[in-house]
């Protein structure tokens, strides 16, 4: 089978961002928080590949550490949201009746709640921090995954092999674990990929507002907001983190689209009779 | 000796409401159906979509509760049993489904699927020899247990589904359109297999089909259903030679070569 | 007269799904094609309307009326479809646009191909529906497909197929998704339409009973080959090819009562790549000769028509 172009490009971009984030754990060109005020706004050079910022910190090192923060937030938040949401979706599909109604109405409520507002609320109560960003993004992901997994699970529950499992005497929990979960994995993974992109964007937005990563912990969003006042003096300080956000978000979006294209049976070509 | 006694069962479904102030319409899928099935006997249920034959299968399997009437298996009403006891009782009555491509989980190996009823019983014995035995009883090889469903043809998959159904050595097999999706040449093999297994294991079979010819050549007695009701019932030969109803005559006309 | 000569269809990997098939249908003739899954009967039907799925290679020639069309000539086929050749399918629901009223669906080709005005097309659509025997045709015009029963939908599809008065109607398993009583009425309708309109009918089915009551002549296909052909009643009464014999014997019949073992054809239809180069039935045939595996048998005259089997050839 030929790999679709969007899938290949998306996977490549995601791999690039992930690789940079992982490398930052063991190596950056300079300590990312090292100040060198004498050397501020340095142009790109062999020492500072992309130059330095208004406090003389190495831009590449900051971008690398920010990639790590961004990825960590996205993976943790979407992971938690997916686990809880999919669990609820499976429960709703398995139990049906008023349980399903209740879960779905609650998730409607969750949808009605803007993520930014929730994060601002959390920050107001507990103070701004990356963990609070993770909680906020995880929370808004729960209804999304509950909905996707329930819709997919309800389809699988109608399959004959599920009836066969019931005829065999399997309980609802065992059927959910053995048959439903493996067979809804594809749409859930596609949704995860798309939600990664959203999470990166939300994290950047929250950090831009000062509700996310706190100094000296770098974040693409905060780098953007700090560069804003220096736009005319040093536009590169805004351009590079902006490009990083675009790369990561575009990468995950394309990857999600590509995965959907190859896993959605409605889009795969029917075999010739 | 009576194995299954279905005693004037009815099943009604509430349809989606059409208007706010009027009561939701009700569909009576099965309407006062009675019959008995003895050990080792085959009863055919003929009818078309909407005749209630599949609902009847689900009632017999205990997937649904009747709104009226009783389903007695060995004199015991399954609907009186607590859920755990019902699940344990299921090893005595098993089911084979219509679509051989849909009744096996595509992500599971054949051996895993065939062993599922044994796992449900939470026994401690190793299922592998029982799986091998069941696969050989349906004309497959023990080595097939390690393969995935997509590696098999439709007829072979139906054999696998039958192996799963007989692995707990049930007394009753409910076959809901079990050969309808198969090619004619394969259909005959599966029908013969069912008859062989019936003699070997003393199975009673509730054979549900829309095809009168298939029922005629496999069943001792038959039941013609339409709109949830039994139109006529009797020995296969008697019903076919002297159909008592226009609808039965239409089915005969459709099946005649 | 519509005819195919030396029609072959190959998969991308080069396996033959249909091997040099010849067939001809005269106006008003009803020809059945019987086969199991993988026999190539649906591909043969699709080739007759120039709709073989992408990725398959079609060769040979198809003559519609006096003109010969290359199988891949999409522009030519577009001119012929609907007007010369029309087709109905197994699943009437998925073949209708769920968002369009029945009347609009039928009126569209009338306006596009025959240049009728909207009101004339609607009147014509009503007449077509009436011809298919659908109850209350006037009311159906403004209904949506989901408001109709399966049999009514199939009648709508037939009306749609008749819209441009085709010379040939291809029906691919038109009764398989329908209940027996409804199926009986649909096949009766197809027979009546073929007679009244002098329209040729190519009736594809796996159901011998449906073919028996719908067609005058039949082809039996196995593994992409036409293995037997002839008058329907005579082929069914006196089959010559071992496959046709096996197929008829394996079919449960009303004459056998109560737990009779059916004669079977051993094995299962092999995948295309595993079929023998010679007779496609080699490997499952009960009376196989050594040459069957590599030498393709030629059609030989039989009492009921002809069959392609070495046993029938020059007797030793």
Ordered by where they begin, the domains of chain A are: 5-21+55-272 (1.10.3720.10)
In chain C, residues with a C-beta closer than 8 Å to the C-beta of A272 are 11, 17, 43, 53, 55-56
CATH of domain C2-215: 3.40.50.300
User: What is the nearest CA distance from C51 to chain B, expressed in angstroms?
Assistant: 25
- Interface probe with A: pick from C13, C53, C55, C204, most Cβ of A within 10 Å: C53
Q: What's the residue count for chain A?
A: 273
Q: Does A68 touch chain B (CB under 8 A)?
A: no
Q: Is A2 exposed, middle or buried (0-12, 13-18, 19+ CB in 10 A)?
A: exposed
- Enumerate residues 6+ apart whose C-beta is below 8 A from B197: B137, B138, B162, B166, B203
Subunit contact B102:A167, Cβ cutoff 8 A: no
Q: Which element (helix H / strand E) includes B236?
A: helix B236-241
User: What is the nearest CA distance from C36 to chain A, expressed in angstroms?
Assistant: 11
- Could you tell me how many helices (H) and strands (E) chain B has, helices first? 10, 10
Question: Given this model, what pLDDT does residue A210 score?
Answer: 85
Residue whose tokens read 């073919």: C211
Most confident of A189-193, C252-256, C264-268: A189-193
| Full pLDDT tens readout for chain B, 257 residues | 799 999 999 999 888 777 777 777 888 899 999 999 999 999 999 988 888 998 999 999 999 899 999 999 998 898 888 888 888 889 899 999 988 888 999 999 999 999 999 998 887 788 999 999 999 999 999 999 999 999 898 889 999 999 999 999 999 999 999 998 888 888 999 999 999 999 999 999 999 998 898 998 899 999 999 999 999 999 999 999 999 999 999 988 888 87
Give CA–CA dist C213/B56, Å, rounded: 32
pLDDT tens track for C187-232: 999 999 999 999 999 999 999 999 999 999 999 999 999 999 999 9
DSSP conformation letters of C70-90? -TT-HHHHHHHBTTTEEEE-S
Residue whose tokens read 């009815």: B10
ipTM > 0.90, yes or no: no
- Enumerate residues 6+ apart whose C-beta is below 8 A from A96: none
Subunit contact A273:C43, Cβ cutoff 8 A: yes
Adjacency order of strands within the sheet including B2-14: B26-38, B2-14, B68-73, B76-77
pLDDT tens track for B37-66: 999 999 999 988 888 998 999 999 999 899
Subunit contact C56:A273, Cβ cutoff 8 A: no
Listed in order, the ranges of chain C carrying CATH 3.40.50.300 are 2-215
Q: Of A160, A163, A167, which has the smallest distance from its Cβ to B90's Cβ?
A: A167
Residue whose tokens read 């319409």: B25
**Closest chain B residue to A182, measured at CA:** B107
Give CA–CA dist C252/B214, Å, rounded: 5
Q: Which element (helix H / strand E) includes A237?
A: helix A236-263
Subunit contact B217:C265, Cβ cutoff 8 A: no
Q: Of B184, B189, B256, which has the smallest distance from its Cβ to C206's Cβ?
A: B184
What pTM, to 2 d.p., does this model score?
Answer: 0.84
User: What is the nearest CA distance from C49 to chain A, expressed in angstroms?
Assistant: 16
- Enumerate residues 153 to 182 of chain A having a beta carbon within 8 A of any beta carbon in chain C: none
Q: Which element (helix H / strand E) includes C140?
A: helix C137-140
In chain B, residues with a C-beta closer than 8 Å to the C-beta of C212 are 257
User: What is the nearest CA distance from B178 to chain A, expressed in angstroms?
Assistant: 12
Question: For A181-206, b where at least 16 C-beta lie within 10 A, e where not — what string?
Answer: bebbebbbebbbbbbbbbbbbbbbbb
**Closest chain A residue to C42, measured at CA:** A273
| Full pLDDT tens readout for chain A, 273 residues | 567 888 999 999 999 999 999 998 888 888 888 777 788 887 888 778 888 888 888 888 999 999 999 999 999 999 999 999 999 999 999 998 899 999 999 999 888 877 778 878 887 888 888 888 899 899 889 999 999 999 999 999 999 999 999 998 898 999 999 999 999 999 999 999 999 999 999 899 888 888 888 888 888 988 988 888 888 888 888 899 999 999 999 999 999 988 888 876 554 443 333
| Rounded (10°) angle between helices C150-162 and C180-197 | 20
Q: Of A167, A169, A179, which has the smallest distance from its Cβ to B105's Cβ?
A: A179
Which alpha helices (DSSP H) does B45-183 contain, by range? 53-60, 83-89, 110-114, 116-120, 128-137, 154-166
Q: What is the mean pLDDT of residues C2-8?
A: 92
Give CA–CA dist B182/B188, Å, rounded: 9
- Enumerate residues 122 to 181 of chain A having a beta carbon within 8 A of any beta carbon in chain B: 159-161, 163-171, 174, 178-179
Q: A267-273, long-range: CB within 8 Å, 24+ apart, which pairs?
A: A270/C53, A272/C11, A272/C17, A272/C43, A272/C53, A272/C55, A272/C56, A273/C37, A273/C42, A273/C43
In chain B, residues with a C-beta closer than 8 Å to the C-beta of C206 are 183-184
A 10 A CB-CB count for A79 gives 17
Q: Which two tokens stand for residue C80?
A: 């012929």
Give CA–CA dist C138/A98, Å, rounded: 44
Q: Residue A256: how many CA atoms within 13 Å on its side-chain side? A: 18
Subunit contact C252:B214, Cβ cutoff 8 A: yes
Residue whose tokens read 């497909």: C145
Which chains contact A through at least 3 pairs of Cβ atoms less than 8 Å apart? B, C
Give CA–CA dist A145/A82, Å, rounded: 6
């Amino acid at each position: 089978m030929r790999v679709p172009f969007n899938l290949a490009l998306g996977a490549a971009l995601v791999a690039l961002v992930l690789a940079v984030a992982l490398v930052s754990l063991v190596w950056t060109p300079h300590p990312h928080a090292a100040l060198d005020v004498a050397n501020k706004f340095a142009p790109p050079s062999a020492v500072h590949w992309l130059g330095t910022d208004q406090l003389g910190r190495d831009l590449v090192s900051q971008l690398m550490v920010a990639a790590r923060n961004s990825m960590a937030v996205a993976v943790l938040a979407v992971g938690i949201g997916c686990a809880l949401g999919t669990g609820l979706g499976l429960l709703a599909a398995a139990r049906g009746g008023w349980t399903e109604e209740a879960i779905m109405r609650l998730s409607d409520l969750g949808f009605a709640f803007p993520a930014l507002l929730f994060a601002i609320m959390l920050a107001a109560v507990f103070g701004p921090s990356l963990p609070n960003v993770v909680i906020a993004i995880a929370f808004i992901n729960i209804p999304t995954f509950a909905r996707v997994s329930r819709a997919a699970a309800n389809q699988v529950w109608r399959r004959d092999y599920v009836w066969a499992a019931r005829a065999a005497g399997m309980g609802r929990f065992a059927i959910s674990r053995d048959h439903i979960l493996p067979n809804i994995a594809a749409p859930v993974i596609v949704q995860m990929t798309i939600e990664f992109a959203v999470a990166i964007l939300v994290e950047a937005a929250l950090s831009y507002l000062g509700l996310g990563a706190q100094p000296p912990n770098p974040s693409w969003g905060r780098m953007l907001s700090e560069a804003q006042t220096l736009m005319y003096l040093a536009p590169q300080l805004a351009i590079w983190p902006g490009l990083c956000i675009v790369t990561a978000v575009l990468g995950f979006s394309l990857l999600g689209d590509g995965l959907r294209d190859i896993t959605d049976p409605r889009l795969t070509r029917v075999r010739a009779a | 000796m009576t194995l299954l006694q279905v005693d004037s069962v009815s099943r009604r479904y509430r349809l989606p409401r059409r208007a706010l102030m009027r009561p939701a319409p009700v569909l009576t899928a099965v309407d006062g159906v009675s019959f008995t099935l003895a050990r080792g006997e085959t009863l055919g249920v003929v009818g078309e979509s909407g005749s209630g034959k599949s609902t009847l299968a689900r009632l017999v399997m205990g997937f649904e509760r009747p709104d009226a009437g009783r389903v007695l298996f060995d004199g015991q009403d399954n609907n009186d049993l607590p859920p755990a006891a019902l699940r344990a009782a299921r090893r005595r009555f098993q089911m084979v489904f219509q679509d051989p491509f849909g009744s096996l989980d595509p992500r599971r190996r054949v051996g895993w699927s065939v062993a599922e009823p044994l796992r449900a019983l939470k026994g401690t014995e190793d299922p592998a020899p029982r799986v091998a035995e069941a696969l050989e009883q349906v004309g497959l090889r023990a080595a097939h247990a390690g393969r995935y469903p997509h590696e098999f043809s439709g007829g072979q998959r139906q054999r696998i589904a039958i192996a799963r159904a007989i692995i707990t050595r049930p007394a009753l097999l409910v076959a809901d359109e079990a050969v309808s999706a198969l090619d004619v040449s394969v259909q005959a093999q599966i029908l013969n297999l069912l008859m062989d297994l019936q003699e070997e294991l003393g199975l009673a079979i509730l054979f549900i089909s829309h095809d009168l010819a298939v029922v005629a050549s496999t069943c001792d007695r038959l039941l013609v259903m339409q709109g949830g009701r039994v139109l006529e019932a009797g020995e296969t030969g008697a019903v076919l030679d002297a159909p008592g109803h226009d609808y039965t005559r239409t089915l005969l006309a459709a099946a005649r070569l | 007269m519509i005819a195919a000569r030396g029609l072959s269809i190959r998969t991308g990997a080069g396996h033959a799904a249909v091997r040099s098939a010849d067939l001809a249908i005269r106006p008003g003739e009803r020809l059945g094609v019987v086969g199991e899954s993988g026999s190539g009967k649906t591909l043969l039907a699709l080739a007759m309307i120039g709709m073989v799925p992408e990725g398959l290679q079609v060769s040979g020639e198809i003559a519609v009326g006096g003109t010969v069309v290359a199988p891949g000539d999409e522009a030519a086929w577009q001119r012929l479809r609907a007007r010369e050749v029309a087709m109905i399918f197994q699943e009437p629901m998925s073949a209708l646009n769920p968002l369009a009223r029945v009347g609009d669906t039928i009126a569209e080709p009338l306006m596009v191909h025959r240049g009728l005005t909207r009101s004339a097309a609607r009147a014509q659509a009503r007449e077509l529906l009436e011809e298919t025997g659908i109850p209350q045709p006037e009311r159906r015009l403004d209904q949506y497909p989901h408001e109709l029963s399966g049999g009514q939908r199939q009648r709508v599809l037939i009306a749609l197929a008749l819209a441009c008065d085709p010379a040939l109607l291809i029906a691919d398993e038109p009764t398989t998704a329908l209940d027996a009583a409804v199926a009986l009425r649909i096949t009766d309708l197809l027979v009546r339409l073929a007679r009244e309109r002098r329209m040729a009918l190519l009736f594809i089915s796996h159901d011998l009973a449906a073919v028996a009551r719908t067609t005058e002549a039949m082809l039996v296909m196995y593994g992409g080959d036409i293995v037997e052909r002839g008058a329907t009643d005579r082929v069914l009464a006196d089959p010559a090819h071992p496959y046709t014999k096996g197929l008829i014997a394996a079919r449960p019949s009303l004459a056998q009562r109560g737990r009779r073992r059916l004669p079977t054809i051993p094995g299962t239809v092999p995948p295309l790549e595993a079929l023998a180069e010679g007779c496609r039935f080699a490997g499952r045939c009960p009376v196989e000769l050594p040459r069957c595996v590599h030498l393709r048998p030629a059609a030989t005259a039989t009492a009921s028509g002809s069959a392609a089997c070495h046993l029938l050839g020059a007797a030793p």
